[in-house]
Amino acid sequence: MNTIDSVALANEGEVHYSPYDYAVHEDPYPFYARLRAEAPVYHNAELGFWAFSRHVDVEDGFRDNETFSSANGVTLDKAASGPHAHRVMSFLAMDPPMHTRMRGLVSKGFTPRRVAQMEPQIREIAGRYLDAARDIDDFDIIRDFAGKMPMDVISEMMGVPKADRDEVRRWADLVVHREDGIDDVPPAGIEAAMSLVEYYTNMIAIRREHPTDDLTSALLAAEVDGDRLADDDVIAFLFLMVIAGNETTTKLLGHCLYWLWRNPGELAKVWDGTNTVVDWVEETLRYDTSTQLLARTTTTDFELHGQRIPAGDRVVFLVGSANRDENVFENPDEYRLGRDTSQIMSFGFGRHFCMGASLARLEARVALEEWLARFSGYEIDADRARRVHSVNVRGFDVLPASMTWRTASA
């Protein structure tokens, strides 16, 4: 469905919003604009959730951990929700004190220093895939670059062998894909999740016998006052990394290249150095963020904008809508590099601010620097581009492109 169709749907009669709707996947922003204006506390009775769309309400919701619990997980998918959600979502699906303990232990292995030390490897990985583009007749940004690089980076950190990475990425893609008309994880996604858990279980068993200098071994060795992570804890974090870390960074890179190409004036500013790569990344995070929503569960009755939300109900914070709120960002539907993006909600806020934010930003910056170093221009075949269909994650599955290589003297 094209953008015009989705705009039409979003403007017909009473506003209706479902994160499972394929029209929303194609272009959620007209839906968000109507929610902010007409139903800032929106109730979808059929699917059983409420949605906050205004920036102030999303930020306040992230702050209020006591009212809005993460213990049932951060997605609306029933198969991935409930008291056992932490088994695949790690500390994303925990409240204090479990969240405090788990995040503290994980941070012992997933350190800022370990992330920063990855830059040379990230640069080598990005350069290798881009150099290989010379031999690819029908280059696809996702298939041949953005979809491979983040998986390699995370796999290098975890210690996943190169021979296994394509299969691990295939499983990760299946976990986030949603079938049209199905309001839950499809059978193929459940099977893929089980395969990932089995794979990491085996990998952890090997690391316990033969520790190496990777993140998996560091997590197994992490200790705080005699407390250590159990195997299930490590599996959950590795699962979270391959889903949240790989998928969202892949989508971020695709969006960076797509939206810059869609805005030639901004593209020229990147090419001539008026705006930095960091400006490029941050505005893309605001304009079309990979993570569109995060779910919570109310622990007590809550009232907002005249709507009473009962205790135990599901609430989604529409991150993608908050980033387009006209009360926070001037001309929010304009893709403009260099604007103040300090209030974006793309990585959450407060206690649950994304631990992988620094890695995602590092990967995106380095990857795009390597892109600029090799190409003097590029074109995207928008007619052949295809988006993924996912509840939480937004981005491209197919993004064909042709590039103009820089000459030796350029």
Q: What is the number of H-type helices and E-type strands within the chain?
A: 19, 13
The residue range of the domain holding 77 is 3-405
Chain mean position to CA 261: 21
Q: CATH number, domain at 278?
A: 1.10.630.10
Residue 2 has pLDDT above 60, yes or no: no
- Rama region for 107: left / alpha / beta (φ>0; ψ in -120 to 50; rest): alpha
Q: What are the pLDDT digits (tens) for 199-220?
A: 999 999 999 899 988 888 988 9
**pLDDT tens digits, one per residue of 298-307:** 999 999 999 9
Question: Which residue reads 């387009």 in tokens?
Answer: 324
Contact present, 296 and 315 (Cβ < 8 Å): yes
Is the CB of residue 377 less than 8 Å from the CB of residue 309? Answer: no
pLDDT at 9: 45
Confidence of residue 181 (pLDDT cuts 50, 70, 90): low
Distance of CA 121 to the CA centre of its chain: 22
Domain presence at residue 83: yes
Residue 352 has pLDDT above 90, yes or no: no
Reported as a single tens digit per residue, the pLDDT across 364-394 is: 999 999 999 999 999 999 999 999 888 888 9
pLDDT tens-digit series, residues 157-171: 888 888 998 898 888
Phi and psi, residue 337, nearest 5°: -70, 145
Q: Is residue 376 part of a domain?
A: yes
Look at residue 410 and tell me if it is in a domain.
no
Quick: pLDDT tens for 111-159.
888 889 999 999 999 999 999 999 999 999 999 999 999 989 988 888 8
Give the residue-averaged pLDDT of 310-326. 98
pTM score over 0.85:
yes
The average pLDDT across 56-61 equals: 98
Quickly list DSSP for 12-60. Answer: SSS----TT-HHHHH--HHHHHHHHHH-SEEEETTTTEEEE-SHHHHHH
6 has pLDDT over 70: no
